[in-house]
């Protein structure tokens, strides 16, 4: 085995995940083609309190960041735990996928995935309450993501059980 192949063996994958945006306008083949050429990353599991500056500081370590689009609650227009990071080149985006995915930012393990390219309107949460769908059904208390899920209120559960509601 040559010394040149060793670093390649230990590089993290930048392959496409199985996730596909169900609201993508086009078929799966068209989406895959865009994903394979994309310079845009979806970043999830952010704290609601993580700033654009913190994201820029971390992601610029992988390359030149073109822009950051913060995910917003469509009702309150406040951050709701995701963003899009767009790079100038595919190679810089690949570096971010390799080395930033599953790292810690603002005391949270963030995840990155390929995005077919930001389209205006996608910065808003898709949940019924305005935020992300995943936060509506979360039953654990997560102070970095606004406390309990929007559809789970332990105080209300107790009141229902006691007949007070």
Q: Are 38 and 117 spatial neighbours (Cβ–Cβ below 8 Å)?
A: yes
∠ CA(28), CA(122), CA(96), 5° rounding? 75
DSSP for residue 42: E
0.75 cut: is pTM over it?
Answer: no
Structure tokens at 15: 């392959």
Per-residue pLDDT of the chain (165 residues; tens, 9 = 90+): 334 443 444 445 577 777 777 777 888 888 888 889 999 999 999 998 999 999 999 999 999 999 999 998 878 888 888 899 999 999 999 999 999 999 999 888 999 999 988 878 776 655 555 445 455 555 555 666 665 455 545 554 433 344 443
């Amino acid at each position: 085995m040559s010394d040149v192949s060793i670093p390649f063996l230990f590089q993290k994958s930048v392959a496409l995940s199985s996730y596909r945006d169900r609201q993508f306008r086009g078929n799966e083949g068209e989406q895959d083609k865009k994903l394979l050429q994309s310079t845009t990353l979806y970043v999830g599991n952010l704290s609601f309190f993580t700033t654009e500056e913190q994201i820029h500081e971390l992601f610029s370590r992988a390359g030149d960041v073109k822009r950051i689009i913060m995910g917003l609650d469509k009702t309150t227009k406040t951050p709701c735990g995701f963003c899009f990071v767009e790079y100038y080149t595919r190679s810089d985006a690949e570096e971010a996928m390799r080395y930033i995915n599953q790292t810690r930012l603002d005391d949270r393990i963030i995840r990155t995935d390929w995005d077919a390219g930001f389209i205006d309107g996608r910065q808003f949460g898709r949940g019924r309450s305005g935020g992300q769908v995943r936060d509506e059904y979360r039953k654990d208390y997560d102070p970095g993501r606004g406390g309990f899920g929007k559809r789970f209120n332990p105080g209300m559960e107790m009141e229902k059980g006691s007949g007070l509601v």
